[in-house]
Amino acid sequence: MEMLENNQFIKQIELDRKRVESFRRYPFSLPVIRGLSILDMHPKETFIVGENGTGKSTILEAVAVACGFNPEGGSRNFNFSSRASHSELYNYIKIIKGIRRPKDGFFLRAESFYNLATTIEELDKSEGGARIIDSYGGRSLHEQSHGESFFAVFMNRFRGNGLYILDEPEAALSPTRQMSMISRIHQLVGKNSQFIIATHSPILMAYPDAVIYEIKEDIKAVKYEETEHYQVMKSFLNNTQKMLNILMK
């Protein structure tokens, strides 16, 4: 583990609390941000999980932007913006880096994926030389289903030796594709990659060599089986009829 820690791209993220003027305004008013100090990143994979509205995507977005990625996704070379909706949290996030620098990187988020696909098409129409889409499998992302195009980016554009930040990637993927994603993640980890993922998926967060941070009122590292997502899904699958009877009363 020590060798991995020395080689990881991001070792920690830290909220510069001294610079925050007020914890009464968004996003600093979120309970998780009010209590945030330092989070250690796993050299392979870090998960941030929690209910909707707890702030996991807000934290992930801030980390991505602080690392130089476009708020709406893509590599560091993308600078498109359909609507400036990202928070100012990134200005208060310190990235404690390792000694290595990634040769590749990508911020992939489900909610603005359409804008990313559109930007690629527009750039390919206006620029000469090699087509950008060839790095994404060669087929227009708009001519595929949302799940197919999302998976195509993951399979073709991610090259390894990279920092990959993913926001709820399961939103576009079937359970089978989520399992395939675990295999691809493992391949890329074997190529010296580091992942930071915000997710609701009990399938994805089952990846064994990782740290899981769960957000409730605060944020803390938990075991896979301790996550609410795992416990709810297990209870539902093991007691489906009983759960349905309760839910449909």
Provide the 10 A C-beta neighbour count for residue 154. Answer: 23
Q: Let me know if residue 118 belongs to a domain.
A: no
Q: Let me know if residue 122 belongs to a domain.
A: no
Q: Let me know if residue 20 belongs to a domain.
A: yes
Residue type, 116: L
Q: Let me know if residue 143 belongs to a domain.
A: no
pLDDT tens-digit series, residues 190-229: 999 999 999 999 999 999 999 999 999 899 999 999 999 9
Place of tokens 């899981």: 212
pLDDT tens-digit series, residues 137-168: 988 888 988 888 888 888 999 999 999 999 99
Q: Let me know if residue 78 belongs to a domain.
A: yes
Q: Let me know if residue 18 belongs to a domain.
A: yes
Q: Let me know if residue 148 belongs to a domain.
A: no
The model carries a pTM of 0.91
Range of the domain at 96: 2-113+161-247
What is the number of structural domains in the chain?
1
pLDDT tens-digit series, residues 161-198: 999 999 999 988 999 999 999 999 999 999 999 999 99
Alpha-carbon distances, residue 101 vs 10, 67, 76, 98 (angstroms): 9, 11, 13, 8
CATH number at residue 72: 3.40.50
Q: Which ranges constitute the DSSP H helices of the chain?
A: 2-7, 31-34, 56-66, 113-126, 146-152, 175-189, 228-238, 240-247
Q: Let me know if residue 132 belongs to a domain.
A: no
